[in-house]
Amino acid sequence: MKEPWSIKSRARECTVTGEPFEPGQKIRAAIFPDPESSGYLRKDFAIAAWDSREEKEAPFSTWITTYEPPVLEEKVEDVVDQDPESLLRKMVEEDEAHTENVRYILAVMLERQKLLRETDTQEVPTGMLRVYEQRKTGDVYIIKDPQIPLSDVDKVQEEVKQMLDPDTEPDTEPDTEPNTEPEVRATDEAPEPSSDQEKKTQKEKEEE
């Protein structure tokens, strides 16, 4: 059974009043369980309208955010096919179980790049869910934390690098070939002086 991962887009108006949001306005975003499916519904509210809403259904997740108008989609030719967010979006939509580790690493990568921000974490029977919001578009990604063992993190990160840039050579072990250059130690004896050096030294002694 597939988990209800999906991308939740920000609304343009308040769910209660229907009034459009203004750029820069503080609003409350909330995700509710969808009674008609195994997924979730996102609703956005003006701050005042949240407390006055008639339905007091407990949300799965809620947070305060700043409304900004949705960014127009870039032209296809201007978008890198395998940039981290495009890859994450594609994997979330496909929802294949074997990509859980990669999805999580991509989300963490985008958070470090300040493109996503983590707004909430929730425990569910299948594990820990992390809720990430795209800072510009307001899109929300629900990502399962697969609890990757520390010993596997490097392997997953390398897998992500190969997906983003297939032409990159995978990391290899450092060069361990022995150094063939002669080793110079402080205790090595000084080289014997040449015959010219011996003559010069003898002449200096005679002049003393």
Say what the pTM is: 0.66
Question: What is residue 164's predicted lDDT score, i.e. its pLDDT?
Answer: 84
Question: What is residue 191's predicted lDDT score, i.e. its pLDDT?
Answer: 46
Q: Is 104 part of a structural domain of the chain?
A: yes
Question: What is residue 170's predicted lDDT score, i.e. its pLDDT?
Answer: 57
Question: What is residue 109's predicted lDDT score, i.e. its pLDDT?
Answer: 92
Domain count, the chain: 1
Range of the domain at 140: 7-164
User: Token pair for residue 138?
Assistant: 């307001």
Question: What is residue 1's predicted lDDT score, i.e. its pLDDT?
Answer: 39
Q: Is 192 part of a structural domain of the chain?
A: no
User: Average pLDDT by consecutive 10-residue portion of the chain (208 residues)?
Assistant: 63 93 94 80 91 81 88 46 84 87 92 93 88 90 90 88 75 46 40 50 51
Measured CA to CA, the distance from residue 101 to residue 103 in angstroms comes to 5
Q: Is 21 part of a structural domain of the chain?
A: yes
Q: Is 188 part of a structural domain of the chain?
A: no
Mention every residue, 6+ apart, whose C-beta is less than 8 A from residue 61.
30, 31, 119, 120, 122, 131
Q: Is 2 part of a structural domain of the chain?
A: no
Q: Is 1 part of a structural domain of the chain?
A: no
Say how far residue 5 (Cα) sits from the centre of its chain: 17
Measured CA to CA, the distance from residue 192 to residue 183 in angstroms comes to 19
Q: Is 64 part of a structural domain of the chain?
A: yes
Long-range contacts of 139-142 (CB under 8 A, 24+ apart): 139/7, 139/8, 139/9, 139/10, 140/7, 140/8, 140/9, 140/10, 140/29, 140/31, 140/42, 141/5, 141/7, 141/88, 141/89, 141/92, 141/107, 141/116, 142/4, 142/5, 142/6, 142/8, 142/31, 142/40
Burial (CB < 10 A; 0-12, 13-18, 19+), residue 176, is exposed
Q: Is 178 part of a structural domain of the chain?
A: no
Mention every residue, 6+ apart, whose C-beta is less than 8 A from residue 159.
101, 102
